[in-house]
Amino acid sequence: MGRQHPPVRFVGQRRVALRALAAALLVPAAPAIAQPAALPLTPGQPEGPFYPKSLPADHDSDLTHVAGRTGQASGTPLHFSGRVLARDSRPLVGASVELWQCDAHGRYHHAGDDGVPRDENFQGYGVVTTDAEGRYAFKTIRPVRYSGRTPHLHVRARPPAGTALTTQIYIAGDNANGDFVLAATPREAKERLTMALVPAGREPGALSGNFDFVLA
């Protein structure tokens, strides 16, 4: 018998399949979508001995005015604001941010710091909740040096679900930077906990500082 050949139809189908396979091999693979790098976590710092033993009746976002008093706090007004973010840059809505610090005389008001003089017009502590963009804002005073400590703000940021961060924020260029807490702080962490101040453009002499917290 003579050599049998495959049906023409089968040969044609095979050629079409081979051409399709070759064309597929020539199509470049879709590039992988680069995932954004995770934001570095904000470094923690010691809480210190001056967290309020009991919260003041007035603990809103304006520390320069105490409810029921007519005076304003001594010191340079500071508008302190920023965002609270997750490591993937998502704003953390409904996070709480607590702020406490000494007054212009270096005294804390709500932790048994009974020295004088004392500014009774300074609230000393405030707490706010972040908005739909993860933003918070306080009005306070520029921190001052006391008892060998460089000027700083104490902050505790707590996400709606997760672990709270307690830290301290320092002022860029302050010539008092260099106390015992900072001496034990790694250089990179120190840089990430430093905030620049600029004129606020609101009341005369007021300053503005922006700081974003990144929580686990």
Ranges of the chain whose pLDDT falls below 70: 1-36
Rounded CA gap, 127 and 100, in Å? 9
Tell me the whole-structure pTM to 2 decimals. Answer: 0.82
What pLDDT is attached to residue 163?
A: 92
In a domain, 48, yes or no: no
What is residue 202's predicted lDDT score, i.e. its pLDDT?
Answer: 78
List, for residues 125-152, the tens digit of each pLDDT value.
999 999 999 999 999 999 999 988 999 9
- The reply to whether 70 falls in a domain is no
Domain encompassing residue 141: 77-215
**CATH number of the domain that residue 116 is part of:** 2.60.130.10
Predicted pLDDT of residue 1: 53
Peptide bond into 6 cis (omega under 30): no
Asked if residue 110 is part of any domain, the answer here is yes
pLDDT in tens, 150-177: 999 999 999 999 899 999 999 999 977 7
Q: Is residue 24 part of a domain?
A: no
* Total structural domains within the chain: 1
- Residue 45 domain-assigned? no
Residue 166 is assigned to a structural domain of this protein: yes
**What is the rounded (10 degree) CA torsion for 53, 47, 178, 116?**
0
- 88 within a domain of the structure (yes/no): yes
